[in-house]
């Protein structure tokens, strides 16, 4: 889905880049409109930063790296302690910004920031986390040890749906490990990152250690092709994740690329179905279904089918849809008019494939927000398990219900699916839970959990087409990703 490119001239703010410790207007020829998706208004413009300015940012980062890597880790993390404090103090302002540019509710924005801050906290443990190890006397009088060193300039390319949290999956670990970091935020929600960077500036972090370049494909390509970029972290849709992974490899860089999802929740008849329906509704419709861990398929097994379908339809109908800063709103808009049109097309596709709409959220009219990009929660019952709708990530508040006869049948379906981001099971049976956890092919597994999002000291996993790479974001994986191992064999004659 393209974001409209416009020429300069209109009166909204044009976002600057942050290069070498200074805010700089870009000399870009093309700019991207940034919307408030609840009102449909353009609220800012972001430059499509050209390759020569990307080069300046990477060169400034490289220069800063030479000094930064020599700063002791315990001193490096002092800037992160300050950042944590500033993020807490500015939580309200940041949450409002997320809601305004991304559409999710204020509470969802606060939750996202809490998850981001958690990563800053974990990265403060780098002095311990990046320690190496040593063996004395691998041969007589010879010792051998492993040390972890930073890579150099590393970049992150992030998606629209968590503009506060996802940059913080990477930035704190990258710089705590001694790297210089360049962020290319989403071309649809770049304002939150600007505000976070202003807070980073207040910490007094040495110039050039972090930079920010706005843009879309051309800017990403310039980063991927740059010889001084050592590593790439990407989060976004699967086709782009695959493209970035392949291109990073072609240019000799390490990469971790998180992609899209189609997350199933299996519900066994012994689970407390009304309570489960509430949890599944929150997972499927929260953030307007625009979470990579949103439940998009519910698989009620056996006699759970009918009562679960009834309960989830009630939950969907009851959700209050609107602008996320307004009182009582539970579901915001989707990100763009094109996203709304696409989601509505998939609802129609589901009906064409033979499903029944228990709740149809198309043609939503929200008083006062007639130009917003709203789709109300939708429940499609009896979606064919091997059809287009069951296969495709819709990324909107649409839950497909696919009843199945047995847990084995459900696990088989999950394992055949090309995505493997999350899979959840609701049951009271320990035996069923163990079987599911053991057999299911997905990176994040929830047992009686609706959004199985790992905390910051665990990796954010992902399998199959939901992840390309070896080391994931967050936790120890992040430390390994952002450091290279040096093994020293030492003897004193």
- Active-site residues, by number, are 292
Task: Report which residue's Cβ sits closest to ligand NAD.
Answer: 236
> Judged by CB under 6 A, how many residues of this single chain contact ligand NAD?
28
Stretch of 256-264, 300-308, 358-366, 482-490 contacting ligand NAD, by CB under 6 A: 256-264
Q: Which is nearer to ligand NAD, 232 or 313 (CB)?
A: 232
Q: Is 393 in the site for ligand NAD (CB under 6 A)?
A: yes
Q: Is 159 in the site for ligand NAD (CB under 6 A)?
A: yes
Q: Which is nearer to ligand NAD, 337 or 433 (CB)?
A: 337
Q: Which of 99, 119, 161, 378 binds ligand NAD (CB under 6 A)?
A: 161
Q: Is 475 in the site for ligand NAD (CB under 6 A)?
A: no
Q: Which is nearer to ligand NAD, 150 or 397 (CB)?
A: 397
Q: Is 235 in the site for ligand NAD (CB under 6 A)?
A: yes
Q: Is 186 in the site for ligand NAD (CB under 6 A)?
A: yes
C-alpha span between 370 and 377 (Å, rounded): 17
424-463 footprint of ligand NAD as x/- string (CB under 6 A) = ------------------------------------x-x-
Q: Which of 117, 216, 295, 359 binds ligand NAD (CB under 6 A)?
A: 216
Q: Is 420 in the site for ligand NAD (CB under 6 A)?
A: no
Stretch of 91-99, 127-135, 213-221, 474-482 contacting ligand NAD, by CB under 6 A: 213-221
Q: Which is nearer to ligand NAD, 159 or 385 (CB)?
A: 159
Q: Which is nearer to ligand NAD, 235 or 301 (CB)?
A: 235
Instruction: Report which of 89, 237, 226, 29 is spatially closest to residue 211, judged by C-alpha positions.
Output: 226
Q: Is 122 in the site for ligand NAD (CB under 6 A)?
A: no
Which residues, in sequence order, are CB contacts of 367 under 8 Å at separation 6+? none
Q: Which is nearer to ligand NAD, 427 or 461 (CB)?
A: 461
Region 263-302 residues binding ligand NAD, contact defined as CB under 6 A: 292
Stretch of 138-146, 193-201, 233-241, 297-305 contacting ligand NAD, by CB under 6 A: 233-241
C-alpha span between 101 and 34 (Å, rounded): 7
What residues make contact with ligand NAD under the rule CB under 6 A? 157-162, 184, 186-187, 216-217, 220, 235-237, 240, 243, 258-261, 292, 393, 395, 421, 460, 462, 466
């Amino acid at each position: 889905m393209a974001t409209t490119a416009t020429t300069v001239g209109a009166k909204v703010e044009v976002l600057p880049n942050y290069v070498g410790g200074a805010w700089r207007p870009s000399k870009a020829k093309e700019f991207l409109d940034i919307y408030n998706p609840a009102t449909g208004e353009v609220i800012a413009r972001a430059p499509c930063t050209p390759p020569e300015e990307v080069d300046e940012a990477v060169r400034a980062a490289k220069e800063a790296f030479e000094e930064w890597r020599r700063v002791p880790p315990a001193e490096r993390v002092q800037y992160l302690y300050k950042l944590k404090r500033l993020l807490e103090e500015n939580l309200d302002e940041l949450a409002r910004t997320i809601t305004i540019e991304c559409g999710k509710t204020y509470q969802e924005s606060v939750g996202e920031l809490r998850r981001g801050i958690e990563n800053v906290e974990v990265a403060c443990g780098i002095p311990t986390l990046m320690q190496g190890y040593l063996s004395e006397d691998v041969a007589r009088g010879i010792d051998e040890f492993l040390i972890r060193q930073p890579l150099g300039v590393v970049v992150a390319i992030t998606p629209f749906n968590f503009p506060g949290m996802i940059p913080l999956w990477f930035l704190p670990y990258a710089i705590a490990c001694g790297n210089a970091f360049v962020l290319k935020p989403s071309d649809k929600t770049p304002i939150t990152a600007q505000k976070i960077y202003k807070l980073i500036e207040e910490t007094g972090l040495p110039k050039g250690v972090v930079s920010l370049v706005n843009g879309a494909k051309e800017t990403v390509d310039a980063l991927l092709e740059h010889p001084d970029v050592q590593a790439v972290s990407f989060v976004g849709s699967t086709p782009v994740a695959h493209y970035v992974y392949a291109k990073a490899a072609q240019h000799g860089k390490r990469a971790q690329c998180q992609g899209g999802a189609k997350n199933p929740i299996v519900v066994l008849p012994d689970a407390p179905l009304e309570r489960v329906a509430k949890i599944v509704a929150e997972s499927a419709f929260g953030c307007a279904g625009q979470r990579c861990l949103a439940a998009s398929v519910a698989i009620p097994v056996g006699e759970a089918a009918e009562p679960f379908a009834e309960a989830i339809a009630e939950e969907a109908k009851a959700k209050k849809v609107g602008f996320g800063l307004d009182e009582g709103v539970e579901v915001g808009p989707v990100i763009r008019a094109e996203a709304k049109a696409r989601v509505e097309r998939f609802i129609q596709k589901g009906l064409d494939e033979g499903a029944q709409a228990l709740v149809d959220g198309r043609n939503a009219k929200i008083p006062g927000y007639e130009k917003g990009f709203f789709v109300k929660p939708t429940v499609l019952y009896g979606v064919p398990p091997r059809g287009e709708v069951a296969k495709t990530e819709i990324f909107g508040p649409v839950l497909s219900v696919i009843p199945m006869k047995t847990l084995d049948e459900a696990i088989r379906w999950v394992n055949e699916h090309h995505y493997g981001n999350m899979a959840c099971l609701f049951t009271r049976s320990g035996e069923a839970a163990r079987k599911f956890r053991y057999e299911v092919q997905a990176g994040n597994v929830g047992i009686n959990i609706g959004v199985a999002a790992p905390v910051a000291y665990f990796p954010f996993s992902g399998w199959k087409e939901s992840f390309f790479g070896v080391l994931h974001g967050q936790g120890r994986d992040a430390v390994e990703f952002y450091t290279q191992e040096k093994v020293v064999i030492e003897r004193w004659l």
